Structure 1
Amino acid sequence: MSERNTEFFPKQLQKIVASRFLYLNQDSYENNRLFFENAGGSLRLESVVDAQARLTALPDCPERTHDTALDIRKIIDQGIQDIRLFLNAKDGSIATSLTASKLIFEIISVVAAASKQGNIVTTAIEHPSSYDACQFAAEQYNHELRVANADPVSGSIPIRNIVDLVDDQTVLVSVILTSNITGAMHNIKKYAAEIKEKNPQTIIVVDGVQGAPHGVIDVEDWEIDALNIAPYKMFGNRGVGFAYLSDRIASFPHHRLLATDQDNWNVGSTTPSNFASFTKIINYICEIGRYFNSSDDRRTLIVEGMNRIHLQEQAILNRLINGTSQVIGIKDIPNVTVHFEKANGKTQDLILALTFDNISCPDAVQKYGENNILVYARESSSHYSKRILGAVKLDAIVRVSPIHCHTPGDIDKFLEVTRLIAENSN
């Protein structure tokens, strides 16, 4: 297993980062709490919430010519530019919708409708939005659906399992960047290259929702055709999803106002606060990047910031697994099994999938809650989890998902509570 980073943010930066978030150490009732459920949402930046409220309060239409309207237009334009910078989308179109799931449904359906009869390849651990979109589109437009199997040990999809399903009739391949259940991260650049070596014409669609807050995204370098993100997963608000579409597919027939450009995927009036809020997210990432890099280039600072976030989260993951001289790590706590992490090493996102020998996953979640730690049980009874858990031969897990703003002290508290649950539950 590859060694991961063990060094946390400098203390000064850790304090700065912590000060930017709302409800970091308390819930909305002012009860002390550790929010280790960021794979189900995300802690929010205060600046994002403020921007959302300020722009939402304005009655002005951005398509007018008075001063306030023109200022709003500038905010929207800056937000679109920041989305492009974050994704490194130098071409193509940026689409918005109420959710990232809605976007990936539309993208996959549009590609399937515009393609000759063939096959669609997806994977067993895709989020239901992308998996179901592939199944729906295959049935609707008479394509064969092919599903790449997971490796139960790593919780990932080996590249050969995908490539072996690709042939000259493959219309589209859908692959997840990071699983929000197993935490497995896929090297999309490598996967895309091997898929295109097998069939250069295949459209490659990536679900980037879980991976976006935890590492660098580069759609140009990866040479993919579409990728979606959800700001609510990356310190922002709910109610909007963004997606990149390459020039190759942006003008495929799709829902649009017919008087607009053929590559326009945005129907109706935009919501200015969504773009203002995303700019605040990018400002925050750049603030972290600027702590280590004096560049004036915004993309450079984004890359630096996201790389530093990734390193911080690998340090958190290392402490969770291995503990310290004072606190026992999860790997050494009796009655607890950590799934996927050992096989993945540095390609494991900051998600831990745990099971206990002496207590069910839902009961363990309740025990964590009694100790003011919020985690989540992913169970096969949920349509969001059943297929994915079955693919990795599990019935349920306790999903633990902190993010980079958490401290070594937070991790130590979690480890101590985990030890107590494992030792004392019957």
Structure 2
Amino acid sequence: MTERNKEFFPDELQNKLRDQFYYLDTDLNGDKRLFFENAGGALRLKSAVEKYTEVSIIPDSPVRNYDIAQIINQYITDGKGDIRQLLNATGGEVAISLTASKIIFEMITAAAIYLPKGNVVATSIDHPSSFDACQFSSEQYGHELRVAKADAATGSIFLEELLSHIDEETRVVSLILTSNITGAMHDLETYTKAIHDKNSETIIIVDAVQGAPHELIDLSKCYVDGINLAPYKMFGLRGTGFAWMSERLAAVPHHRLLATDETNWDLGSATPALYASFSQVVNYICSIGQYFIGEAERRTLIEEGMTRIQLQEQAILNRLLNGTDSIEGTKKLKNVTIHFEAANGVKQDLILAMTFSNISNSRAVEIYKENNIQVFARESDSHYSKRILEAVGLESLVRVSPVHVHNAADVDEFLRVTKLINEM
């Protein structure tokens, strides 16, 4: 197991980054709060919100040929370019929808309708938007649904288990990059290459909503036909979801205005402000890269920025688990069980999946809230959680999900409250 990074961002950078977010340490009412619930909501980048406001108040249509129209149309072009740069994707099509869940549902369904009857492979820890799309498409269009089982210790899908469900009749494979419940991370290059080697015709569709804000993605090294992003999970705005599709997936019959290109997935007028806002997110990532390596090409800065974000988050996770000389980490508390991390090591996203033996998980969340810390209880009575929790043998868990702008003091305050709960 590779050892985690233990070094936090330099104070100069940390303070600069923290200033760029709304509600980092207070809530809407102005009350003190640590927001450790970024796998459900997510902190908002000020520049993303400000840019959206700046562009959205412009009344002009981007599909005209005069100067202002051309300016705002450029935001769309640049935004799509930044999505490609973030993913290191060439060719294909960038699409937008109301949510990332909607766009992945559309991608899976369109592929399943178009392809001849066979089988569709999902996993037991897929988000409902992709799992339900696979189940719906299989039932409606005559495919067999196959479900790869999760490993309870890691909360992940082992590659061998996934491959055992794939054969020459497999039409679509759904793969989650990172689980927003277990925190397990799948190696996209390794998994998609193995799927492609077994059946080069199968359409591979990836849910990257949880993974994209926390790890570097490089589609130039992968066999991916469709992948989705949720800007709000990447410090951008709610109300939109982006996707990149390969030429073969983009070209399958789908809802579109018939006079447009067969690979066009945009229905109606584009929203320049949403693209402009997301470009600010990419600018932010690049600024982190620039801090460490200076001026460079945009993709190089993205690579450095995302690598540094992941290292920072591994340092946060290390402190959450192991504490310091002055405060105990969660792994040392007798009434706390940490799930998945020991088996995953550095293949664990910055999600701490905890259960308490001396108190209910839901009550623990209430006590965190009483102490100004926002976390979340994943319970089996939620349609978002039930199937996934059952897949890893749990009825509930406390999910703790900070992000890279949290610092050592934030972690230590969380550990202080966790020790208090542990001793009840």
Name the amino acid aligned to 1:334: K
Q: What is the identity percentage for the equivalent residue pairs of Structure 1 and Structure 2?
A: 57
Aligned counterparts of 2:338 and 2:66: Cα–Cα separation in 1 = 58
Aligned counterparts of 1:63 and 1:109: Cα–Cα separation in 2 = 30
8 A Cα contact 2:196 2:223, kept in partner? no
- Residues 25-424 of structure 1: matches in 2 within 5 Å? 25-424=25-424
8 A Cα contact 2:114 2:252, kept in partner? yes
Aligned counterparts of 1:296 and 1:288: Cα–Cα separation in 2 = 12
Task: Tell me the secondary structure at the aligned position of residue 40 of structure 1.
Answer: coil
Task: Tell me the secondary structure at the aligned position of residue 168 of structure 2.
Answer: coil
8 A Cα contact 2:323 2:329, kept in partner? yes
Task: Tell me the secondary structure at the aligned position of residue 288 of structure 2.
Answer: helix
How big is each residue's C-alpha offset from its partner over 1:389-412, in whole Å with a ceiling of 9 and x where there is no partner?
000000000000000000000000
Aligned counterparts of 2:394 and 2:180: Cα–Cα separation in 1 = 15
Name the amino acid aligned to 1:193: K
Please report how far the alpha carbon of residue 75 of structure 1 lies from its aligned counterpart in structure 2 after TM superposition. Answer: 1.3
Structure 2: gaps of 5 or more residues:
none
Aligned counterparts of 2:315 and 2:89: Cα–Cα separation in 1 = 30
Name the amino acid aligned to 2:99: T
How big is each residue's C-alpha offset from its partner over 1:276-330, in whole Å with a ceiling of 9 and x where there is no partner?
1001001100000001112430011011100000000000000000000011000
Please report how far the alpha carbon of residue 66 of structure 1 lies from its aligned counterpart in structure 2 after TM superposition. Answer: 2.8
Task: Tell me the secondary structure at the aligned position of residue 171 of structure 2.
Answer: strand
Out of 143-152 and 216-225, give the one that drifted further.
216-225
What's the TM-score, normalizing by structure 2?
Answer: 0.99
How big is each residue's C-alpha offset from its partner over 1:247-290, in whole Å with a ceiling of 9 and x where there is no partner?
12111111111111111111110111100100100110000000
Aligned counterparts of 1:392 and 1:300: Cα–Cα separation in 2 = 38
Out of 307-316 and 1-10, give the one that drifted further.
1-10
How big is each residue's C-alpha offset from its partner over 1:43-92, in whole Å with a ceiling of 9 and x where there is no partner?
00000110111112111111123322111011111111111111111110
Aligned counterparts of 2:196 and 2:286: Cα–Cα separation in 1 = 33
Aligned counterparts of 2:177 and 2:74: Cα–Cα separation in 1 = 32
How big is each residue's C-alpha offset from its partner over 1:97-144, in whole Å with a ceiling of 9 and x where there is no partner?
000000011100111111111000010000000000000011111000
Name the amino acid aligned to 1:333: L
Name the amino acid aligned to 1:118: G
Name the amino acid aligned to 2:203: I
Name the amino acid aligned to 2:329: G
How big is each residue's C-alpha offset from its partner over 1:221-243, in whole Å with a ceiling of 9 and x where there is no partner?
11211100100001001000000
Name the amino acid aligned to 1:261: D
Aligned counterparts of 1:246 and 1:295: Cα–Cα separation in 2 = 31
Aligned counterparts of 1:321 and 1:110: Cα–Cα separation in 2 = 43
How big is each residue's C-alpha offset from its partner over 1:334-370, in whole Å with a ceiling of 9 and x where there is no partner?
2000000110000000001100001111100000000
Out of 365-374 and 47-56, give the one that drifted further.
47-56
Task: Tell me the secondary structure at the aligned position of residue 39 of structure 2.
Answer: helix
Task: Tell me the secondary structure at the aligned position of residue 3 of structure 2.
Answer: coil
Aligned counterparts of 1:43 and 1:105: Cα–Cα separation in 2 = 25
Number of positions where the alignment pairs a residue of Structure 1 with one of Structure 2: 424
Name the amino acid aligned to 2:415: L
Name the amino acid aligned to 1:290: Q
What's the TM-score, normalizing by structure 1?
Answer: 0.99
8 A Cα contact 2:166 2:198, kept in partner? yes
Name the amino acid aligned to 1:326: S
Please report how far the alpha carbon of residue 218 of structure 1 lies from its aligned counterpart in structure 2 after TM superposition. Answer: 1.5
Aligned counterparts of 2:52 and 2:222: Cα–Cα separation in 1 = 32
Task: Tell me the secondary structure at the aligned position of residue 132 of structure 2.
Answer: helix
Root-mean-square deviation (CA), in Å?
A: 0.8
8 A Cα contact 2:380 2:386, kept in partner? yes
